[in-house]
Amino acid sequence: MHSVGTHIASGSGDAEDVRAAIVVPTYKHSGLLVEALSTALAQDTDFAYAVVVVNDGCPFPETGRVCREFAAAHPGRLHYLHKRNAGLSAARNSGIAFALDAFPALEAVYFLDSDNRIRPHLLQRMLDALRAAGPEVGWAYPDVDKFGFFEFCDMSGAYSPLEHLFRNVSEAGSMASRRLLDSGARFDEAMRQGSEDWEFWLQGLERGFHGVHVPGTGFGYRRRGESMLTESERDYRPILTHIQKRHPALFAVRAVLRAEAAVGRRYAVYLPDRAVVRCITDPALGEEDLPLADFVRRALRAPERPGYGECPGLLAVMDSGLYELLKRHRLLRGTLWVLERAAAQATLVRAEVTARMAAGGCALSWSGAPVGLQADAPFPLPDGGAAMAMLPTAVLLDLVRRQPVGIPLLERDPRKPCAEARLSLTLALPGAVQPPAGADSALSALREAMATAWSRPSNGGWAAAPIDRYRAGVATPEDVYETVHRLPSVLPLLPPAGNRRLAALVADPADAAALDTAVRMARWLAGKGYDAHLVALGGGDLFLTVEALEAFASVIPHPLPLVLPERPLTRRDAYLGTPLRPSDAVEEDRAVGTLAVFDLVVTVRHGAAHPLMGRLRALGVTGWALLGASTVPDALSLADTVNACAAFEHAYQTVVPLDARTFRLCQGLGFPPDKLRRWEDATEPDADPDWASCAPLSSCLPEPSAAA
Amino acid sequence: MKLSTPAAQFASLYDGTPKLIAIGACAGLEPSAVPLRLLRLVRHDGGYLLLSGDAGAAEGEALRTLAVPPAAVRVLWSCDEAAGRDAERLLGWWEEAGGPDSAPPQVTGDASTLLHGLLAQAVAEVDALHRRNAGLQRTLSTLREEWGRSARLPPEAVELLDALRLSPPRLVFATPRPVGALPVPLRHGRNPAGVGEIVQRLPAGARGLAGIDLHLDQAPKGSGVLAVALTGMETGEVIAEWTLSFAELRSGWLPLRLPVASTRMDRLLDLRIAATGVVTEAPRLSLAQAGLLDEYAVAPPARAIGQPAMLALRLWGGLPGLEYGPAEHLAPHPAAERMVWPLTKPVLSQLRKGREFEATFPWFGLLRGGRILLHPLHGVVTAALIPLDEVPGVVAVRARAVIDDPRCRTPIACKLVVASPSVTVDEAEREEGILASSGWMVLEEPRRRLDLSAALASPWSGPMALHLFTDIPDRGHGLYGRTIFSDFELEIDSRTAWANPPALPVVDGVAATP
C-alpha cells in the first residue's frame, strides 16, 4: 500500500481523484491540532484523500496560524476553511458541504476532532468496510481507544439499532458514506452541548441505514478530566430529550419495542420436557427454539463479549404443555408479563398453577406473596411445587460463575425488596389439564447444565482474560426503556401484519358490568380497525364466557396488588371531596408499561386507572374514559366517580358518559363539552335533547384509511 | 452578497497557496512578480465571480457558491476608487461568513503600492516567524527539562507501591491444557516458498505485556529457525520478534519474554508464527479449545476435539517499562527468575468444603471478587480446599486473611496448607506429608489483614491442593468471626517451570537468549 495522497501535487485537477475526506473541525484546540493533522496526513491508503480543516471562528490566533501553515505545507492535500463561530455541528456541516462540492468522486467523509488522533490504517480500513458493505450500511465506526485517562471501549459485534437508542455506539470519529450524506443527514446545529454525533447517526438510522463496526482502526480519543464529553455527560438527560424530540418515530414506545424484537428476544422459556429454550418477545410474532446446549453457550458468552440482545434478559421455566395451553388461549403474553412484573420485586419468581377444565368460559386468578422480605441470608434454589419460574438471566449466570460446584446459594438483589415472589395462578379453561410442578427441578437442571459447561476450562477460563467488557452482558428491558421512557419495561405486544391499531380496554376484573361494557366496546372497536385487548387491572378473579373471550385479541392480567401487599395509606388525597388513593410509584411504572404500547386506552369505569393517563398521553397514547354508574358493592357514587375522573380530565382526549345522567354530571363538573362523546352503539334513546345531540364517539376516531 | 466560482476552481480556493484578490481593472502587475496566485473579483449575473488568473468563466460552466471565505488570501487589492464599493461589499461578506477579524488586509493603489504593502507584510511575517521559532525551541527545551526532572509514575506503579509483592510478572491469561497440535508451515525446505503463517489473536493488549508462553507439542528435527512476531493490528508494526534455532527447541512450554514489560498501547495484538528450514519432523504447536470465544481461534483454522482451536498459550504481564531480570552486571540478558500465578475466579470456583458441618448461618462459600468465606465454628476446625490442575515450578503459595465483621471480639486462627491431591484434609491439618504450610496464624482484630505464606522446600510441578483452615483459639463461639481469605497466588521459579530457557526478542537481527 502507498499513500497516493502524498504524491498529489497542488492544483484543482487533483480534487477529481479524491475518494475520502477527513473533516477536522477545530476550536480552541490549537495546541493539539498539530497532532490531529499530522495523523490525518499520515494515512496509508491506496486511494487519494484530502484533509479539510474547519476553523470554527476560534478566537486563538495560533489556531488560524497552524491551519495556514499546514495548508501551505500540504498544498492540494489539506484545505482550510475559516468560518464564523457557529458550533461543532455547523463546522462539520461546512466541511461536509465543501467536500461534496469540491470532490466529485467522494465516497465518504471521516470526522476527526482536533484533539484526537488516528493510526495510519484507519482511513483505508474504514473505506474498505463501507465498500464491502451493502447499500443499507451508511456509516462505519471504530472501537474507541481513549488516551489521557486510559480506557478502551470495544464496540464490536453486530450493529444494534436498539442499543444505539440508549448508548452512542458510534463515536464522532466514524466515517459517513456518500449515500448517507446524499440522503441529507447533517449535524444538528442547534446541539451545542455535545452528543451531536449520536443524533447524526440516528438520522442515518431513521433514514434506513445501519452502521458497521470496523476493528483495529486505531482511533484514539483524548479523554481529559474536563471536556465537551464530560459536560455532555452531565447534561445527558436534556440532551437525550432533545434527541428524542428530533426523532419521535425512532423513540416511540412501539418503535423501540419493534427494535427490541428485531435484535433479540426478551424471554428465554426453558421447556424441560422438550429440552429446548424457546426465545420470544411477543409470543404472537414468532419463536426461536434453541437446543439447550446452544442456549447455554449463548448465555455464558454474554458477560464476555459485546453482542447486544443475543441472550434474552429474562429466563422462564415451564412445561411445554402449560406453555401451549396459555398460548392457545392467548394468555401466554399476559402470563409472562405478570412474571416479569414480579421479577422486578424479587430475585426469583415461582408460580404454582392450578388448572382445571371448564367448558363455559375462562376463569383466571392471580395472587402472590413475598418471601424473604428484606432478608440478607443466602438461600438455595427451591425444590418445591412450582409449575413456572422466572428470574433474570444475569442472576443465574452470576450463580453459575460464582458457584459452579456444591450447593449454590442465591442472594437477594439489594435493589429488590424480597428474595422470592411466590405466585399462584388458578386457571379454568377448555382443555386444561393440571401441569406438572416441575419448574424448580427444571431450573436446577438448567443451572447444572450451565455450571457443567462453565466448569470446562475452555469456557470458564475466559472470565480471567484481560479483554474489554464495557458493552458485554445480558440485555434487559430496563437498559432501553428506563433510559428512553423512564419505564422499567413495556408489555411486549406488537400489532400483527395488516397495521390494525391496538386498543386496551382497562376494566376491573371484579366489576362484571364493566367487563360486559368492555366486551361490547371491543366488538365495536374491532369494526373500526382496532385489535382490542382486555387489561384486567385490579384484584379479584376474572371470569369471561367463551363469547366474551373471543371479543378480545388477548387478555392481559394486571393483578393489584401482586407480590407486596397494598401499602397502608399514609396520606389521603381528595379532589373536591372525592377520595383518591395515591399510586405506588413502582406499581404505577409497571401499569404505565402495560398500557404504553397501545394506540388507544379506554378506561371502563375504572377510577384507579385515571392517574396513569397523564404519562400515557405524554407517550403518545390516546385516552378515553367510559363513565357510568357501578354496581360493585362499596363503589363510589356516580357523582364521585365522575368527579374522580374530572381530577384527571386533562389527560384524556375523550370522555364517554354511558347515560344521560352521567352526561349531565360531566357537564356540571366542568368537563369541556368538546371532549364529551356519546357512544352511539351503546346508549338508549333519551329524552334529554343535549345528550341526544352530543357528538357521536365514532367522530373522534381516525379515518379508516388513517387507521389502516 | 452572492460570491461564486467555477466548479473546477472551487477546491483550490481553500488550499494553502497564498492568494491575492484583485478587484476592478487593476493593471501593471506581472503575475510572475509575486509568488501569489492571482484571483480576480468580477461582477456576474447580479452577484460576483472569483476567477483564477486571466481565465474567465466558460460559457455554461458549473458554478459553486462560496459559503466560507477562501483560505490564505494575503491581500485584497483595489486599484482605484471605482473598485472601492466592490471591495467594501466583499469585506462585509467576509466578516459575516468568516467571523470577526477574518478578512485579509486591503490595499488601494497601483502595483507599486501593492508591492510595497506585500513587502511590509512579508518582512513582518519573517520577523514573527523568527520569534515563534525561538519560542518553540524554548517550549521544547522546557518540556524536555521538565520530563527529565520529574519522576512520572504510571498508575500501575502506584499499585506496585501499594503491594510490593505484586512486582514479579504475573500470569494474566492461560488457555486450558493442550489437546491437539498444529504443524508450523515451513517457508523453505521441502515446501515451496510463500506458504502462510500461523496467526493467533491475543486476548490482551500490549501495555504491560511481559511474556508469552507457547507450547511445543513436538520439537522439530532438522535445521532451521522458528520465527515468532508480535504485531500490533492498529499500526501494523512488529512489536517484538523472536527467532529460535531448531536445535535449541525442546517439546513443552516455550517462554518468549520481552526485556521489559511493554509500554506500548496497542489494543489488538497478533502473534505470527512461521518456520524456515529443512526438517524431517516439522515443529508442531499445541492447541487448546477456544471454547466460548471462538473469535480467538487460530488461523488457519484448526480443531481440537471437535471444537475451534487456538494456540495453547499463557500471557504474562507486569508494570510497563519495568525490567524483571537481575541487574545487567549479574546476567547478560534480563529475564525474571520469579513469576506470579494468581488464582483467578474460574480456578477459585472449584472451591469445596473440606469438612461438612451444619450451621444456622452461612459459614462457607465463594463470594464476589474471588473471596472465600470460612467462618470458624464452635468446637471444630473448619476446612476448605481448592484443587489446582498442573502448575509448574511452584515455590510458594500466598493468600490474605481478614475478619470481615467489625463486631468480632474473638481472635481467629487461620492456616494455609499446600499438599499433593492425595493428602487428606485431616493429614493436611496435622501437616503430615504436605508440601508447605503457613502454620497457624492468629487474626487478633477485625479488618486487619494478615498475609499467609507457605514456602515449599523445592519447586513443585504437577497438580496440588490448597487447604484452608479456621479455628477459635479460646474455644469460644467465635461470634461474628466472619473470616475471609483472598488474593491467592502462586510464586513460580522460572528456571524449573519451563523446558526451554526464556527467549528474548531479536535485537538488530541477532537472536538473544539468556
- Give the integer Cα–Cα distance in Å for A71 and A346: 63
Residue A701 C-alpha, separation from nearest chain B C-alpha, in angstroms: 49
Cβ pair B172, A461 in contact under 8 A: no
**DSSP string across B338-395:** EEEEE--HHHHTT-EESS----SS--EEEETTTEEEE---TTS-EEEEEEEEEEEEEE
Q: Is the peptide bond before B446 cis (omega within 30 degrees of 0)?
A: no
Among B71, B204, B295, the residue with its CB nearest the CB of A79 is B71
Task: Determine how many CB atoms are found less than 10 A away from the CB of residue A15.
Answer: 26
Mean pLDDT of the region B190-211: 80
CA angle B417, B420, B423 (to 5 degrees): 80
Q: Which set of grid coordinates corresponds to residue A637?
A: 357514587
What SS3 string covers B405-467? CCCCCCCEEEEEEEECCCCCHHHHHHCCCCCEECCCEEECCCCCCEEEEEEEEEEEEEEEEEE
Residues of chain B in contact with residue A458, where contact means CB-CB under 8 angstroms, are 175-176, 288-292, 307
Contact indicator for A632, A511 with CB cutoff of 8 Å: yes
Contact A653, A700 (CB under 8 A): yes
A422-475 confidence digits (pLDDT tens)? 999 999 988 888 999 999 999 999 999 999 999 888 898 898 898 988 899 898
Hey, is the C-beta of B33 within 8 angstroms of any chain A C-beta? no
Q: For residue A373, what pLDDT is reported?
A: 84
Per-residue confidence (pLDDT) for residue A2, from 0 to 100: 39
With bands split at pLDDT 50, 70 and 90, how would you rate the model's confidence at A98? Answer: very high
Residue A327 carries which side chain, given as an amino acid letter? K
Q: Is B351 on the interface with A (CB under 8 A)?
A: yes
> Distance between CA A685 and CA A155 in Å, rounded?
66
Looking at chain B, which residue has its C-alpha nearest residue A300?
A: B292
Q: Which of A164, A160, A218 is nearest to A195 (CA)?
A: A164
> Is the pLDDT reported for residue A12 higher than 70?
no
Contacts of B16 in chain A (CB under 8 A): 68-75, 78, 80
The domain limits of chain A are 4-251, 264-481, 501-564+571-707
Nearest Cα residue in chain B from A379: B362
Domains defined for chain B, CATH in brackets: 3-119 (no CATH), 170-323 (2.60.120), 345-497 (2.60.120.260)
B10 pLDDT above the threshold of 90: yes
Q: What is the pLDDT of residue A10?
A: 34
Average pLDDT, whole number, for chain B? 86
Q: Which of B205, B234, B349 has the CB atom closest to A217's CB atom? A: B234
Q: Are strands B284-289 and B307-311 parallel, antiparallel or unpaired?
A: antiparallel
Question: Other CB atoms closer than 10 Å to residue B279's CB: what's the count?
Answer: 19
Percent pLDDT > 70 in chain B is 89
Q: What is the pLDDT of residues B157-170, one digit of tens each?
A: 656 655 554 467 88
Determine whether the interchain pair A456/B291 forms a contact, defined as Cβ–Cβ distance below 8 Å: yes
B204 at A interface, C-beta within 8 A:
yes
Distance of alpha carbon A554 from alpha carbon A532, whole angstroms = 8
Question: Does B55 lie at the interface with A, CB-CB under 8 angstroms?
Answer: no
Could B235 and A218 be called an inter-chain contact, meaning their C-beta atoms sit closer than 8 Å? Answer: yes
| Interface touch B267/A460, C-beta < 8 Å | no
What chain B residue is nearest to A301 in terms of C-alpha separation?
A: B292
Pairing of strands A137-142, A78-83: unpaired
For residue B203, give the C-alpha cell: 486476548
Average pLDDT for A539-565: 88
Which of the pair, A135 or B193, is modelled with greater confidence? A135
Average pLDDT over chain A, rounded to an integer: 89
* Averaged pLDDT, A177-203: 93
Q: Inform me whether the C-beta atom of residue B176 falls under 8 Å from chain A C-beta atoms.
A: yes
- Asked if B15 has any chain A CB less than 8 Å from its own CB, the reply is yes
Single-letter residue type at B85? R
pLDDT at B306 exceeding the cut of 80: yes
Higher-confidence residue of B510 and B279: namely B279
Q: pLDDT tier at A202 (50, 70, 90 boundaries)?
A: very high
CB interface of B with A, residues 391-410, below 8 Å: none
Residue A441 is predicted with a pLDDT of: 94
Most confident segment among A430-434, A452-456, A633-637, B201-205: B201-205
User: Model confidence over B72-89: pLDDT tens digits?
Assistant: 999 999 988 778 888 999
How many CB atoms are closer than 10 A to CB A622? 20
Identity of the residue in A94, A121, A305 whose CB atom sits nearest the CB atom of B293: A305
Could you tell me if B131 lies within 8 Å of chain A, comparing CB atoms?
A: no
pLDDT digits (tens, 9 = 90+) for A107-153: 999 999 999 999 999 999 999 999 999 999 999 999 999 888 888 89
Quick one: pLDDT at residue B160?
Answer: 63
> pLDDT tens for residues A335-356?
999 999 999 999 999 999 999 9
| Partner-chain contact A216 B307, CB within 8 Å | no
CATH number of A501-564+571-707: 3.40.50.11720
Residue B8 forms contact with A (CB below 8 Å): yes
CA distances from A269 to A292, A324, A330, B390, B512 (A): 11, 12, 16, 40, 58
Q: What's the rounded Cα separation, in Å, for the pair B326 and A322? A: 70
Say if residue B332 is exposed, middle or buried (CB neighbours under 10 Å; 0-12, 13-18, 19+): exposed
Q: Is A33 helix (H, G, I), strand (E, B) or coil?
A: helix
Task: Please give the average per-residue pLDDT across A545-556, as a whole number.
Answer: 90
Q: What is the mean pLDDT of residues A305-325?
A: 92
Tell me which DSSP letter residue A456 carries: S
Considering only the beta carbons, identify the residue of B64, B293, B351 that sits closest to A304.
B293
Q: Give me the architecture of the A4-251 domain, per CATH.
A: Alpha-Beta Complex (3.90)
Residue B157: C-alpha distances to residues A273, A464, A493, B490 (Å):
56, 22, 54, 21
Q: What is the DSSP letter of B186?
A: B
Q: Before B169, cis peptide (omega within 30)?
A: no
Give the pLDDT of residue B435.
96
Please, which residues have CB within 8 angstroms of residue B390's CB and are 6 or more apart in sequence? B177, B461, B462, B463
> Is the pLDDT reported for residue B177 higher than 60?
yes
Q: Is the CB of B203 less than 8 angstroms away from the CB of A15?
A: no
Give the C-alpha separation, A92 to B178, whole Å.
53
Candidate from B8, B291, B317 with C-beta closest to A458? B291
Q: pTM of the prediction? A: 0.83
CA A464 vs CA B171, B276, B345: distances in Å: 10, 35, 7
The pLDDT of A592-602, averaged and rounded, is 95
Q: Would you say residue A402 has pLDDT above 70? A: yes
Cα separation, A415 vs A347, in Å, equals: 9
What does the buried/exposed string (b/e) look like for A253-274 if buried means 16 or more CB atoms within 10 Å of the residue's CB?
A: bbbbbbbbbebbbbbbbbbbee
* Contact (CB<8Å) A84/B99: yes
Distance CA A213, CA A210 (A): 10
- Please name the residue of chain B whose CA is at the shortest distance from the CA of residue A405: B350
Interface test with A, best of B292, B364, B404 (most A CBs within 10 A): B292
Between these two residues, B6 and A235, which has the higher pLDDT value?
B6
DSSP string, A223-257: E-SSSHHHHHHHTHHHHHHHHHHH-HHHHSHHHHH
B 67-86 residues with CB < 8 A to A: 67-69, 71-72
Q: How far is A469 from chain B (nearest CA, A)?
A: 12
A225 in Cβ contact with A260 (< 8 Å): no
Cα(B304)–Cα(B308) distance, rounded to whole angstroms? 6
| Bridge partners (DSSP) listed for residue B391 | B462
The interface residues of chain B toward chain A in range 289-348, judged by CB-CB distance below 8 A, are 289-293, 295, 307, 315, 317, 344-346
Phi, psi of B165 (to 5 degrees): -70, -10
Q: Please, are residues B256 and B211 in contact by the beta-carbon 8 Å criterion?
A: yes
pLDDT, tens digit, 9 for 90 and up, residues A645-671? 999 999 999 999 988 888 988 988 889
Interface touch B203/A467, C-beta < 8 Å? yes
C-alpha distances out from residue B59 to A104, A492, B56, B63, B292, Å = 20, 63, 9, 11, 67
Determine which of A7-11, A541-545, B314-318, B354-358 has the lowest per-residue pLDDT on average. A7-11
Angle value at C-alpha A388, between A385 and A393, nearest 5 degrees: 120
φ, ψ for residue A698 (rounded to 5)?
-60, -20
Question: CB under 8 Å to A636, separation ≥6 — which residues?
Answer: A578, A607, A630, A644
Tell me the residue length of chain B: 514
Residue A708 pLDDT more than 50? no
pLDDT at B328: 47
Whether B15 sits inside 8 A of A120 (CB atoms) is no
**CA distances for B388 relative to A596, B48, B342, B347, B463, angstroms:** 54, 83, 12, 7, 6
d(CA A297, nearest CA chain B) in Å? 7
Q: Would you tell me which residues 223-252 of chain B have a C-beta closer than 8 angstroms to some C-beta of chain A?
A: 233-236
Of A79, A120, A460, the CB nearest to B15: A79
Mean pLDDT of the region A613-638: 89
Cα B206–chain centre separation: 3
pLDDT band at B26 (very low <50, low <70, confident <90, very high): confident
Write out pLDDT tens, residues A35-68. Answer: 899 999 999 999 999 999 999 999 998 899 889 9
Of A183-187, B39-43, B504-508, give the lowest mean pLDDT range. B504-508
**Are B291 and A459 a contacting pair at CB < 8 A?**
yes
Nearest 5 degrees, angle CA A314-CA A318-CA A321?
Answer: 140
CA angle, residues B9, B12, B17, in degrees to nearest 5? 140
Exposure b/e, A532-557, CB count within 10 A at least 16 = b: bbbbbbbbeebbbeeebbebbbbbbb
Q: Which of A458, A459, A462, A470 to mutate to test the interface with B (most CBs of B within 10 A)?
A: A458
Give the minimum alpha-carbon distance from A175 to chain B in angstroms, rounded to a whole number: 17
CA distance A655 to A697: 9
How far is CA B366 from each of CA A359, A398, B269, B454, rounded to the nearest angstrom?
A: 53, 12, 34, 22
* Chain B residues lying within 8 Å of A454, measured CB to CB: 349
- What percent of chain B is predicted at pLDDT more than 90? 47
Which residue in the block uniquely carries the three cell numbers 412484573? A341
CA distance B343 to chain A (A): 9
User: Is a pLDDT exceeding 90 seen at residue B104?
Assistant: yes
The arithmetic mean of pLDDT across residues B216-233, rounded, is: 92
Q: Taking a C-beta distance cutoff of 8 angstroms, is the pair A12, B12 a contact? A: yes
- Max alpha carbon distance in chain A (Å)? 93
Model pLDDT for residues B124-137, shown as the tens digit of each residue: 888 888 888 777 87
| Per-residue cell: B351 | 472451591
Q: Nearest CA to CA, how far is B12 from chain A (Å)?
A: 5
Percent of chain A scoring above 90 in pLDDT = 57
A66 contacts on B by Cβ (under 8 Å): none
> Quick one: pLDDT at residue B509?
42
pLDDT of the residue at A395 = 94
